Structures are given as structure tokens and as C-alpha cells.
Amino acid sequence: MIVTLTANPSIDRTVVLGGRLVRGGVARSTGATAQAGGKGVNISRAAVAAGVPTLAVLPADEVFVAELGGAGIECRTRLPAGPVRVNLTLTEPDGTTTKINHPGPVADRRLLDGLRDDVVSLAGDADWVVLAGSLPPGAPDAWYAELVVDLRATGARIAVDTSGPPLAELAAALPAAAPDLMKPNGDELASLTAADAVRLEADHRAAADAALELVGRGVGAVLVTLGAGGAVLATPDGAWHAPAPATEVVSTVGAGDSSLFGYLLASERGLPPEERLAHAVAYGSAAAGLPGTTIPRPSDVGPASVRPVRLQVGRPAPTT
């Protein structure tokens, strides 16, 4: 089972534009969608579509939870601190995506402690626990790092996908707070390793070397998503790069979440690292070819078309 935590869920509204977005101009839409979302929620959606048992932990109201229930997602919820935030995505005909994310309601200690207790209590029956997305206002930046320490005692494997100060605090707490998987993009990886983000996007070996720094500090595996450049996977056994298959990009929203699920799905099936990477890239590419925050189903995904290549890189230094 995959347990997901979405501490700061959202209603994801996507507006499809008929032309290029011009700052200060008038934009006309050709359609719009809205659905209950958040990074952990998206991973649970993908799990349901693939027939993998999942349970989503989140603060949400009855309407939000009812929508997830209609999608087959079982939830463990806490009363939210306020109305669920609304995130707006604008997509242009060429696939260019502009996101406007709201901060969400301020969470108090009671809510945060309740979410932590729920996740830790469920972890004993989980194969993976996924901590995904931003933290709500009011949450300490180190909250994910502290939660990883608690979860490590349960025996569940832990994946983290976040950014900004919570990601920096997680890295600062390594190796005590080392998860089994981290999924940064190029910019996020650069912020953790003092590497140049532009170089990481262009040089797969540089991305692998930077990811291996985190592996050397105790992280089990680092999956670096690079958009059209595919992805890099680093583990104690080495590093691989997989190029993205040719895709007509419709919307990049949810592509990173789908990549993370592809890795988890392959892990659940006992596949080796390079096949986990192939599934991650295939899922992410499939999501980019779908409108809005549509999460791909297995029939949309072709991991056999993705051919990972082992990279010649230095081995990570041992954890101290």
C-alpha cells in the first residue's frame, strides 16, 4: 500500500488558453477544468488507476473528500484550518504552463500533530509513505524532516517531494532524516548541492554527480526530473539517465507527481533501478501529453519505449 500525505491540498483549476499568454493583455480561454488535488493526492489518483492500494492523508472538508471518494481514493482526513486553497494553471497551445499557487490556510500545532499521528500510525501497513508538496502556512520548515525521523522507526520506505525551505531543512537534517527516495527537479537539486542549475539541466553526468552527493549523505535514491531532458536516477549502486520519449506537450502540471508514482509502481513490482527510472520517465511524459492535471492510466504509459543508460560517474562518499 502507498500512503500519501498532502499537508496543503488544493483545488486545481486549469484554464486552457486559445493563444499565447501576454502579460497585461486580454487572454481568451477555450476550456477550463477543476479537481481536488495536491501532489500526494495526484499520486494516490495514479495508484488507484494502476490498481495499487493507496490511502491519502490530508486536511479537507466533506466536499473535497467526496470528490476523492468518487475517484476511488480512500482518505484519512482532519478538519482543515480553513477553506482549501485554489491553485490556478494557465496552459498555452504549445504546452507552456503558468501556475499561480495560493498559500493555503494557516495550520496550527493541533492539526499538524494530528496529521503526523495519522501518517505514523498507518506506516506500519504501508510499503511506501509519500510526503509530497508544500507545507501550509504555520508549519515549521523542519516539519517534514522531523516526520521522516519518526517514520524511519516504522520500517516503511519513505519518499519526499517538496521544495524551498522544507527541502533545505530536510537536506540539513541528513543523514538522521534521510528518506529512501527524494525527487528534486534540476533547480531544487542545485539549491541543495551548490551546483549550477543550468548545467544540471544540460549535463546528465553533472546532475548524477550532484544527486550522488545526497546519496553519500544517506538518501536511498535520488530521482532528478529534468522535464524534456528526461530524468536521472542515483543510488548507491550507480547512476542512470533516461531521455524522455517524443511527446506533444499539452500540460506539464502533475508530470513530476506522475514520475514519482512511476518509480514507486516499479518498486512495488520489484524491478531494478534502471526499470524504476524507465517507469518514472514514461509516466511523467504521458502526463505531459494529457490536459490539465489529468493523471495517466497504465494504458497511457509505455515504459518499454524508454531506454535508460548507465552513467560513468564517481561513487558516493560513505555516510558519516
- Positions marked catalytic: 257
| Amino acid in the structure at residue 162 | T
Question: What cell does 226 get?
Answer: 529534468
Residue 24 falls in which region: left (phi positive, over 0), alpha (psi -120 to 50) or beta: left
DSSP-based helix, strand, coil % in the chain, nearest 5: 40, 25, 40
**CA 225 to chain CA centroid, nearest Å:** 10
Distance of alpha carbon 287 from alpha carbon 261, whole angstroms: 11
- Containing 111, the helix (H) or strand (E) segment is helix 109-123
Q: Report the C-alpha gap between 255 and 227 in whole angstroms.
A: 9
Cell numbers that stand for 211 in this block: 544527486
